[in-house]
Amino acid sequence: RKKMGLLLLLIICQCAINSIKTHSVSKPNIILLMADDLGVGDLGCYGNKTLRTPNIDSLAKEGVTLTQHIAAAPLCTPSRAAFLTGRYPIRSGMAAFSRVGVFLFSASSGGLPSEEITFSKLLKQNGYATALIGKWHLGMNCESSNDFCHHPCSHGFDYFYGLPVTNFRDCKPGQGSVFLKGVQKDLVIPVQITGIALVSLAVVQYIGLLKVPFQALGYFLLIITISLVVVILFFYHFRQLNCFLMRDHQIVQQPLSYENLTQRLTKEAMKFIERNTDTPFLLFLSYLHVHTALYASENFKGKSKHGLYGDAVEEMDWSVGQVLDVLEKHNLNDKTLVYFTSDQGAHVEEISSAGEVHGGYNGIYKGGKSTNWEGGIRVPGLLRWPGVVQPGAYIDEPTSNMDIFPTIVKLADAQLPSDRIIDGHDLLPLLQGEVTQSKHEFLFHYCNAYLNAVRWHPGNSESVWKVFFFTPNFSPEDSNGCYDSHVCFCHGGFITRHDPPLLFDLSRDPEEKVPLTPETESRFYEIIRVIQQAVDNHTRSLHAVPNQLSWDNLLWKPWLQLCCSSLFQSCYCDYESRGSPFQVHLG
């Protein structure tokens, strides 16, 4: 009888535990923290010994560290589109066929299509309060300056406070320009051709070989002059037109001021959490750090061992700590899943005009941002959820930033869309140790809209095979990036094609130093054949969609320009400085 009683007690206890566990994984709060251009080697929890990141490192100590976490693209716009939708950016038209792979202007007409379903839309429909604080970079308007078809609030966020585009060097006076070199290069040939044409016309007119009406020449000169003036004026006013801060649909600071900017973003995030302590919430805190132009407030400037870049990383870590403290203060730790990542790897070519390194560290991995070498796509992946996710665990399986979509949608008790392919997979079984192998047998790595590489992790093997169909031409050749062009490009003379493809086994050669050959790998052609079959299957799953990053969608359109005053008043306003500054307390 005692044994029966003990058995009954054990059954009751187990049922209670299962009930608690089931309740704990239902509709938790979700906090998504995304850095910009952060190298996987910049954090202490990924091996950095000199940068101080105790708050981010605490997420690893109290949660799971993904050591093979992969961004769906090596550039901001496509990577973020994939993150929000759980789909390769090629499926939504957010991958470019041209050289430019991201949005550059606030008044472009391209953006994340309204037909796409974001995790924020699904969570909002399921009772979540939703907010995006920080960088967006997925478009703004379509046909007028106030239709806001691509705005965060049109994609499921109740609240938006941040930058519609991104943090350019051009946004901060004295930091140089990301456009100047490219504009100079692109204008040299047209200006030379125009000059030669005008001189030739003048010569043939003078010697009487051809009679050209002076009126036609006048109109031609006028068009050329007006075009040059517009280009010069646009880039002269680039900061006002593209670097501004919005709250929901209103501009609150134009141009953007960097003074205590991280503190302001952090304060907004903290206030959002405190407004929603009694309701499930989704907070996407999308940092401007550590994309250039680099900045740091007075409390952090000059304090790190790695110049302004290190100061920015350490200030971001402080911000993460403030968010975690608010959760602790309101007893929300056990009810909240916290995720930290970067949109892609560090931008290794970022060097200031003074010669200071402004790019991050990708550890042992080759290349960086804009490339599909591991340094460009292997990013931090930290998940903390006390009582649900095992603390201090490491998972070395291939995972993707697209996996966050199905993971949090299922946690919110929402339904995954059944009318489209979702490329991400639910991470929870892996995080809780229910399975040991990732569902990602294959991952496809795109350089803009071009399939660049494929990763294959067979179910019966520890190997992680990776093939490259083409690779970027580094400049200088013996460097680790495309320093001459500032980023690597995806086609033409900027790449070298490989037939047969380059093959690596990342389990033995994570640095991608020595390509395998039929002589060094007996299964070389079999591996290539299996991967090619996977590519064929993947390609058949793609459907034609409008290209959101076509030249027409990328170009600046004056009628789409957001301006808090008027273009004639240089688009200036500052409603932020009227409030009291957010004081920073270190300790």
* 162 neighbors 133 (Cβ within 8 angstroms): yes
Whether 76 is catalytic is: yes
Which is the catalytic residue, given 13, 15, 69, 76? Answer: 76
DSSP 438: -
| Cβ neighbours of 40 (radius 10 Å) | 27
Distance, in Å, from the CA atom of 97 to the CA atom of 343, rounded to the nearest integer, reads 20
Catalytic position from the list 45, 69, 137, 243? 137
Instruction: Determine the Cα angle at 526 with ends 521 and 532, to 5°.
Output: 120
User: What 3-state class would DSSP assign to 427?
Assistant: coil
Angle at 100 between CA 98 and CA 102, to 5 degrees: 125
Q: What is the layout of strands, in order, in the sheet containing 381-384?
A: 393-395, 64-66, 381-384, 336-342, 29-35, 281-286, 129-135, 159-163, 245-247, 250-254, 573-574
Exposure string of 139-165, with b = 16+ CB inside 10 Å and e = fewer, is bbbbeebeebbbbbebbbbbbbbbbbb
Q: Which residue has the tokens 């037109």?
A: 241
Cα distances (angstroms) measured from residue 327 to each of 271, 272, 385, 392: 11, 11, 12, 20
Q: Which two tokens stand for residue 483?
A: 């320093």
Phi and psi at residue 370, in whole multiples of 5°? 85, 0
Q: How far apart are CA 212 and CA 119, in angstroms?
A: 62
- Residue 387 in tokens: 């009582």
Report yes or no: 557 and 107 within 8 Å, Cβ to Cβ.
yes
The rounded distance, in Å, linking the Cα atoms of 224 and 218 is 10
As beta bridge partners, residue 455 has 443, 466
The whole-angstrom separation of Cα 523 and Cα 520 is 9
CA angle 460, 464, 468 (to 5 degrees): 135
Lateral strand order in the sheet of 378-379 = 378-379, 69-70, 399-400
104 φ, ψ to 5°? -110, -20
Give the residues across from 407 on adjacent strands.
none
Q: Which residues pair with 131 in a beta bridge?
A: 159, 283
- Which structure tokens are listed for 187? 């204008």
Compute CA distances 47 → 53, 196, 362, 395, whole Å: 11, 57, 11, 16
What is the number of alpha carbons within 13 Å of residue 381 lying toward its C-beta? 25
Q: How far apart are CA 405 and CA 87, in angstroms?
A: 9
How far apart are alpha carbons 522 and 278 in whole angstroms? 60
Catalytic residues: 76, 137
